[in-house]
Amino acid sequence: MAFIAETRDLTHMYDSNVALDHLTLQIPEGSVFGFIGPNGAGKTTTMRILTTLLTPASGRAWVGGIPVTKDPQGVRQIVGFMPDFFGVYDNMKSWEYLDFFGRAYGVPADRRSTLIKELLELVDLGHKHDDYVMGLSRGMKQRLSLARTMIHDPSLLILDEPASGLDPRARIELRELLKELRAMGKTIMISSHILTELAEMCTHIAIIERGRLLASGDVKDIMRSLQSHLTLEIRILEGVDRAEHILRGHPDILKVQREPAVDYAGNEDNTPESIDDNAIHETDTETITNDHTSETSTQTLLIDYTGDERGASELLAQLITAGVVVVRFSERHSDLEDIFMQVTQGLVQ
C-alpha cells in the first residue's frame, strides 16, 4: 500500500506541554483519513507540521516522499490545507478571493479564470461568482475556503474541523462534496469531533490522545480488532420467548439482551426489556407458549455471537424451524463513537 504522508517518532512541545509524543502515522494514498481525538490531543499540531507551518522538535515527516523540513516548497505544491479558523477577505468577491490564491501558487493567468469557474461550480458556488465574501453564509464561506485549498490541484487535502459551526444542511453538502473529491482521486485527511459524520465517509482512521497514537488503520479492521465477537440483531414478530430459550442454550452465544417492544406505530410496548443472563430456563421449547410479543408488535433480541457465518445461518434456520417468526436477522456494527470510547481514557493535556 502506498502512503501519501507519513510521520516517524514525531515529537513537539509547547513550553513544558508535550503536544506530540513520538507519533508514527501513515496515511494511505486515495483514502479519506479521519483524525480523531479530544481537544488538545495534538491533531492540529500534526496537521500544521505536515503542511510545513510548524517545525517539529524531533522526528521526521514526509508528504509525497518529500521531507517536510527539507523541502517545504515542494510539500506545499502537494498539500491543500484548510485550517479550523480559515481566513477570508471581506472586501473581495468570490472570484477575486480564489484569483488571489491562484496568483500566490503561481497558477498561470490563462488558466486561472477557467479554473476559478470550475472550482466554484464544484463547491456549488457558481451563482456566487461576483458576490462579496462578506455576504456569504458560514457554510458558503466554508465551501469557498475548500475551493481555495484546491486552487493548485493538490494530491492531499488536510482539513481541520471543516464541519465546525455548520448547520445540518451545510454539513450534508460538505460531506457529499468530500465524497466527490475522493472520487476525483484526492486523498483527504480530516479531523472532526462529529464522529458519526466521519464514520459515513472515512476509509481509515487514527485515534490520538495526549499526543500518542492509540489506534490506526482501516475502519473495519480496527472494529474487528476491538470486538472479539459479533453483535447480531434479531427482530421477531412471534415467538420471542421461544427464541430466547433457544439462544441462551447455544454454545456460541455469550449474551442475550431483549430490547423494548415496538409496535408498528413506533410506540414502545410494555414488554419487560430483558431477562437476567444468569437465569436458567428449565422449560422445554414445546411448553413455552405465553410469548410477550403480539401480532401488532415486534421485539428485538441482541446477542453476542462468537461463531462464524455458517453457524449464524444454521442458527437462523433453527429459529425458523421452531416456529419463530423472524423479520430481521443481521449484524449490528459498532460505530466510531464505540471505538473512540473503548480506546481513549478521556485524558487531556
Q: How far is it, in rounded angstroms, from Cα 87 to Cα 225? A: 41
The predicted model gives 268-288 an average pLDDT of 43
Closest CA to 45 of 17, 74, 4: 17
CA angle 96, 94, 152 (to 5 degrees): 70
Strand partners, 13: 18
Q: What is the DSSP letter of 269?
A: P
Q: Tens of pLDDT along 165-199?
A: 777 787 888 888 888 899 999 999 998 766 666 76
Q: What average pLDDT does the chain have?
A: 83
Could you tell me the pLDDT band of residue 289, with boundaries at 50, 70 and 90? Answer: very low
Rounded to 5 degrees, φ, ψ at 222 are -65, -40
- Cell numbers linked to 26: 501513515
Residue 8's Cα: distance from chain center in Å?
Answer: 24
Q: Is the pLDDT of residue 288 over 60?
A: no
**How would you classify residue 66: left for phi > 0, otherwise alpha for psi between -120 and 50, otherwise beta?**
beta
Label the pairing between strands 230-238 and 297-305: antiparallel
Residues 84 and 161 sit within 8 Å (Cβ to Cβ): yes
pLDDT of res. 246: 93
Angle at which helices 138-149 and 109-122 cross, to 10°: 140
CA angle 132, 86, 56 (to 5 degrees): 155
Residue boundaries of the structural domains of the chain: 3-220, 228-331
Is the pLDDT at 344 greater than 70? The verdict is no
Cell (9 digits) for 232: 447480531
CA distance 260 to 241: 14
- 218-249 residue pLDDT tens: 877 776 666 667 789 999 999 999 999 999 99
CATH code of the region 3-220: 3.40.50.300
Contact present, 339 and 226 (Cβ < 8 Å): yes
Which residue type sits at 123? Answer: V
DSSP H helical ranges for the chain: 43-50, 72-76, 94-104, 109-122, 138-149, 168-183, 195-201, 219-226, 240-248, 309-321, 336-343
Residues 57-71 pLDDT 10s: 999 999 999 999 999
Give the CA distances from residue 247 to residues 100, 110, 235, 256, 310, in Å, rounded to whole numbers and listed in that order.
66, 70, 13, 7, 16
Compute the CA torsion angle 170, 175, 181, 182 (nearest 10 deg). 170
91-105 average pLDDT score? 94
Alpha-carbon distance of 176 to 73, in angstroms, equals 31
Cα radius of gyration (the chain) = 26
What's the pTM value of the predicted model, to 2 decimals? Answer: 0.71
